[in-house]
Amino acid sequence: MSDSLVSIDDVRAEALGLLVGVEEREPLDELTAALIALGVRVAASALDMEGARAFTDRALDAGATAAQVHETLVLVSGLGVHTLMEGSRRVVDVLRERGDDSFTEPLDVRRAALWERHVGDHPYWEEMEREVPGFLDALIRLSPDAFEAFFAFCAVPWQSGAVRHVTKELIAMAVDATPSHRYLPGMRLHLRNALQFGAGRTAVLEALDIAAAAPSHRGLR
């Protein structure tokens, strides 16, 4: 785990590295671009409510339904799981350094059953482990209840299905790439997923441009 400074240029460079050899394909349509712009403005790292209102209007004008707009909010609200991802790993590291052996022992019966039910050998979680190594193990050891809640909450916008999977991945990628967040593990994970769902180089770069234009958090009264 590295805590070194990540610049917006680093975000772009990481993305370009993942886009080597990727076809250009179609640019973003107006609806998708509006939902991405809405997502980066309602994210906890920005909370730009004037922008959120403007891009809600733009999305609706482009043909979005209320369900699609709200599903974008539900998806982006998952930004808070990055607290779990980064915090849980570091808490367990500290506990292990202090000699707590419980974090190196085999999982108990309940935890082992939860792991098999939610993680198993699914390739998505293998990809998560590559980007955020040790997170899921740390979370289930610290709190099996939080582990269950993590999977239940994060699944909601993927189960409702109002917004296309590729669009959701582009929204999530953009939120992670904003100047006030710059969360490279999530950006890389969602960029790869977007490519798997059919996004091309053009759409990804346009989504990153939308992310780069997101305002800094100004606070709310």
Average pLDDT over residues 201-210: 98
Per-residue pLDDT tens over the stretch 144-176: 999 999 999 999 999 888 999 999 999 999 999
Give the pLDDT of residue 160.
85
Question: How confident is the prediction for the chain on average, in pLDDT?
Answer: 96
Give the pLDDT of residue 2.
60
On the question of pLDDT at 143 being above 70, the answer is yes
What gap in Å lies between CA 218 and CA 216, rounded to an integer?
A: 6
Judged on CB neighbours under 10 Å (0-12, 13-18, 19+), 103 is middle
Q: Which domains are delineated in the chain?
A: 8-79+157-212 (1.20.1290.10), 81-155 (no CATH)
What gap in Å lies between CA 88 and CA 12, rounded to an integer?
A: 27
Average pLDDT over residues 54-78: 97
Average pLDDT over residues 181-202: 98
Give the pLDDT of residue 218.
87
Distances (CA, A) of 30 to 25, 27, 35, 86, 203: 16, 9, 9, 34, 12
Give the pLDDT of residue 102.
87
Per-residue pLDDT tens over the stretch 100-128: 988 989 999 999 999 999 999 999 999 99
Which pair of tokens denotes residue 114? 């939860």
